[in-house]
Chain A
Amino acid sequence: MPVAVGPYGQAQPGCFDRVKMGFMMGFAVGMAAGAMFGTFSCLRIGMRGRELMGGVGKTMMQSGGTFGTFMSIGMGIRC
């Protein structure tokens, strides 16, 4: 793969790098979103204490994974 050089003389990230970066960013955003929405929904169904921590963690991982996958696809289809 030829290394494209940007207008500022710095190497542009390659395709796989962008997909990876999209995944990381999506994962971070999904974790944050999952922390918020997961806390609300777990509190609403009556989880407290350790159970709440587990529930929120699970929601965070799930939404991080989903979001990261979609974000990396979104990056992948336009490079």
Chain B
Amino acid sequence: MEEYAREPCPWRIVDDCGGAFTMGAIGGGIFQSVKGFRNSPAGINHRLRGSMTAIKTRAPQLGGSFAVWGGLFSTIDCSLVQLRGKEDPWNSITSGAMTGAILAARNGPVAMLGSAAMGGILLALIEGAGILLTRFASSQFPTGPQFAEEPAPPMPAPSFGDYRQYQ
């Protein structure tokens, strides 16, 4: 993860959006194939066809909602970087919470609050895990790079809240 070079800021949005779409489509393909297989009537042909149908209908949808999350997330992240003039985990946490709030905006203030809390907590967990991981890695290799301040790649983060939210 240390060599994970994030794109410079404006291009990061495109990168995250596409990466999130790919991730959602692949992950959605895996999960929906199992789900479609199990929900079909008996008989291997029915099951395979049901699995295929589930993948074709649901995986692009999931990829799309991942892409929306990722794109909005890194847009806000980049805006915060510009506004505050520094890059730290708080940027990611704030932008996760704001993304959750914005995407739930049509469901009313209570849903916005819940979704924002969920996004913020998830991003905080991911950032914390990234910091712990880099600290552990750098304590393992004392001559290694001291990257404790480097925020983890926040890209995979958006996925989960979204996955639950739009199910």
**What is the 8 Å Cβ interface bit string for chain B, positions 131-149, against chain A (1 contact, 0 not)?**
0010000000101110000
State which residues 113-167 of B face A: CB under 8 Å: 118, 121-122, 125-126, 129-130, 133, 141, 143-145, 155-156, 159-160, 163
Among residues of A, the one whose C-beta sits closest to the C-beta of B25 is: A73
Interface size class of A (residues with CB under 8 A): 20 to 34
Partner of B125, one of A18, A22, A33: A33
Contact (Cβ within 8 A) B160 A33: yes
Contact (Cβ within 8 A) B26 A77: yes
- Residues on B with C-beta less than 8 A from A47 are none
Provide the bound-state CA to CA distance between A29 and B141, in Å: 24
- Residues on A with C-beta less than 8 A from B30 are 69
Partner of A10, one of B125, B130, B143, B160: B143
Minimum Cβ distance to chain B for residue A15 (Å): 12
Q: For chain B, what secondary structure do more than half of its interface residues adopt (helix, strand, loop), or is it mixed?
A: helix
Contact (Cβ within 8 A) B3 A32: no
- Residues on B with C-beta less than 8 A from A74 are 19, 23, 155-156, 159
Which residues does A use to contact B, with CB under 8 Å? 6-10, 12, 18, 21-22, 25-26, 28-30, 32-33, 36-37, 63, 66-67, 69-71, 73-75, 77-78
**What is the 8 Å Cβ interface bit string for chain B, positions 1-34, against chain A (1 contact, 0 not)?**
1111000000000000001001110110011000
Which residues does B use to contact A, with CB under 8 Å? 1-4, 19, 22-24, 26-27, 30-31, 118, 121-122, 125-126, 129-130, 133, 141, 143-145, 155-156, 159-160, 163
Among residues of A, the one whose C-beta sits closest to the C-beta of B145 is: A8
- Residues on B with C-beta less than 8 A from A25 are 129-130, 133
Contact (Cβ within 8 A) B3 A33: no
- Residues on B with C-beta less than 8 A from A28 are 129
Contact (Cβ within 8 A) B125 A71: no
Contact (Cβ within 8 A) A8 B160: no
Provide the bound-state CA to CA distance between A33 and B141, in Å: 29
Contact (Cβ within 8 A) B143 A70: no
Partner of B156, one of A10, A18, A22, A33: A22
